[in-house]
Structures are given as structure tokens and as C-alpha cells.
Amino acid sequence: MRIVTLFIITLFITGCSANRVKQPVETFTNPVLPSGADPYSFYKDGYYYYTHTAQNRLMLWKAKSIAELKMQSGR
């Protein structure tokens, strides 16, 4: 009886792991610049604004979508 129970448990465990479907991995690349002190972003009136300090100046970007910040930042 123990052998039958062990066999059924083994079939159950291997059957459960074999039926798993791998989901495609979705990734998101952060469009915000990788460097710069004091990063800050916000959304107002249909635009995203991103700012950070760079040495002796304040950098500011404005875009309709977060993804467009990447194109405007020169990366």
C-alpha cells in the first residue's frame, strides 16, 4: 500500500510541475536619465516633466509621455 501511495504522490508532483506554462517576460526600460542629482518628475496638464541638477545648472524636460523623455534626453 505504501508503494502505491508513494507512486501516486510522485505522479501528482511531477504532473503539476510539467503542466506549468511559462509566461513571457515583459520588461520596461526606464526612460529617465541614469545620472543627475535630485531627480524629480511630475505630470500636469497632459505633460510629464522631469528635472535634475547637473553641476551648476538645473535640467528640465517636458514630454507628452514618459517614454518620450528618452528621445529628448539624447540617449
Mean pLDDT over 20-24 rounds to 71
How confident is the prediction for the chain on average, in pLDDT? 75
Q: Which residue has the higher pLDDT, 9 or 51?
A: 51
Q: Return the percentage of the chain with pLDDT > 90, whole number.
A: 8
DSSP symbols for 7-71 = HHHHHHHHHHHHTPPPPPPP-----S-S--EEEEEEEETTEEEEEEEETTEEEEEEESSTTHHHH
